[in-house]
Structure 1
Amino acid sequence: MSKLRVLISGASIAGPALAYWLVRAGCQVTVVERAPALRTAGQGLDVRDSARDVIKRMGIFDHILGKSSHEEGIEFVGSNNRCVARFGVDKSGKGDSLTSDIEILRGELAGILFDVTKDDVSYIFGDMIESLDESATEISVNFANGTPTTAFDLVVAADGIGSKTRGLAFGNDSSNIRSLNSYVLYFSIPLSDTDTMWSRAHWVKGGRFMGMRPDNVGKTRALLTLTAYDKSDERLVRLEKASKEGVTAQKLLFQQLFQDADWEISRILKGMHESEDFYMQSVGQVRLNRWSSGRVTVVGDAGYAPSPFTGMGTSLAFTGAYVLAGEISRQPDNIPAALASYERVLRPYVESIQKLPPGIPWIVNPQSTLGLRVFESAVWCTGVLSSTGLVTLLSKFAAYLPIGGDSFKLPDYEAFRQ
């Protein structure tokens, strides 16, 4: 039997991770990326839960750990930079704390994945899928920027929460994305004397958050988020409009929305205007009724983005890539059955991750001064309990209770033992 021909749209994390396992499953893999080259920018990502086992099986765990920022934990600080509570990094290797021992820049992780796949995978940069024409035996792909029309056995959307490929196959149904009434900015700023190896977090009223964390390349990674209670908040209308107008409009709007804040906001806004790696994103979850449509399927954020509030986006990308390739390896001559198995195996885990605790994200992004004070008091109490070891004890006990994200044991695939 000839090799299964697979086209993956997206060369960030989920795409190359899937390509790695598909090659192991005996497939002929092509990855198309609309950017002209591998994108090396991006904020810090972490790898948790079963995804840690995936990267160990890929043989890149130590490489990723070596490229990590090695931050010591996270501090919740007041307007005067005084620490309200701190939570150290989990050094047990389980990756289940507020901050993981694996914190790596998106560009660095993408580079590692590209390096371990480039010899076995065909990469096409500077192009994207324009249309799909499916028959009973294959799917013909037309590209936007000159790549010849090519037939494949399977197309996989791995191009993020705003996936164009998903739109072609499933339609641009707005119900596929659940908005969390929040926007986030990512960018890097120069180091300052106040920066340490601890990540710092600070909130101000109006559902606004400011964060700074160290990296491994001599900069500080900053982020700003604004979260509203409901869609009627006029700030969301302005943010949606700016999202379509480009970077300049986005920077000016966040300047207006945050200029009355305290802490280190002057430094952060100055760095924002000077940054060249600025990125704004609407925060939401992708929730599809089905994960495949004919010979097209989804993986990672394109199929089931859980939102940054879960901290599990990258981890689901790795786990989803492993399971999708594994199920294909079991039934390479029956694509519909393999895709159905992929969804059956992974969907319960994905849905458990996407099920945010009651009140999240709004309860942790207070709108009023009173709400902010109550939240800060809760954080302080949690920090005190954490220092006594009680929080650790309770978290271990809670792991045995049917609440929060379910645990997931990676299936064992014969093709991956070789």
Structure 2
Amino acid sequence: MDIPGLPARRAALRLLDAVLRRGETLDQAGHNAVQGVSGEADRALARAIAAEALRWLPDLDALIDSATRDPLPDDAKPRAVLRLMLAQWLRLDTPPHAVVATALPLLSGGPKRLAHGVFATLGRREAQLPTHPSLPAAVAARWGIRAGDIAAALAVPPPLDLTLRDAAATADWAARLGGQTLLPGHLRLPRGEAIERLAGFADGGWWVQDLAASLPARLLGAPRGAGRALDLCAAPGGKALQLAAAGWTVTAVDSSARRLERMAENFARCGLSADVVVADVRDWAPAGPYDAILLDAPCTATGTCRRHPDVLHRITRGQIADMAALQRDLLHRAAGWLAPGGRLVYAVCSLEREEGEDVAAGLGLAIEPIRPDELPVGIAPTPQGWLRTDPGMLAAEGGLDGFFVARWQAG
């Protein structure tokens, strides 16, 4: 018979292994990893333990190494279990006796005694983590001078951002739900409450969308008359919802039928509509031009590291290069579908220059510079007229995801 809480810890260990050894995302690994874990609370606990271990991995490893005579191999099971133990104790406030009782059964023999000894040593030392996570060295090198500010923003998971269907009702929703607003049509709430229980969910008054993720669609503006908008790589659909709410006639294209089904559910909930196309943008072409095109391209998603700390450890230079090549291909295809005078917005939720500035620089259309008055207070366009956000920005207000956005206008 399993010790209460042990299945959740076993699942957390599987999640950690899937990310660090196989390069899977937490979402990809989640279904298989939690098999045998009963109850939503325990499944959520497994993910929380693994996520905190990934968020603080270099610092947890430094503590482990400080209490061992000989360094443990990176892929040694005792190191993995100790990472989970320390994450529970130092980040999730699990009492040490409960940590020991639910984690040591994952090991046996000498490794079990080793893990117990290291954990006990760190307990006697009253070990602590730094004020914010340390980034892996390769990641810090890629992110340059902003790395410290980004790392500081990773100390706690992000707040909950909502995009409102009716921007004119922002003050009403703020009074109804509380929280703060950083732009018309945006509302920020503390984490913790089940989304489905919040007022306005059932009748489609809003949808969940990070503040940064809402900016690309905003930069297309409202249509002049019966404007046609094309949302490429549209799932999960937040930006398509924004375009429809702004009055555009929307065509949403994505290669994932399953993700588009979920998008259709959100459209129905919000009382909005779009023409949905299941297709790979590389093999598809529209029948005619569009007045507005949004390409939220597939990317490494390193800008979502606040909520997806696995990206800190599984993204390689090769993956960045592959994504940049795909993005360049998609962007040039999309540019050919733009009507005269139409707008094209390109966006990626990546912090990598290769996927942002370097891709945008190769397009031959005229840049339409992004204006400061189109952005939240405290966020400014780049000198090129592009937008670059990262999790270290708007820190006092709870931060935002990392995005690159560029805008052009056809002649």
Larger radius of gyration: 2
Q: Which has the larger share of helix?
A: 2
Q: Is the shorter-chain TM-score for this pair beyond 0.5, marking a shared fold?
A: no
TM-score w.r.t. the length of structure 2 is: 0.22
Select the structure that is richer in strand.
Answer: 1
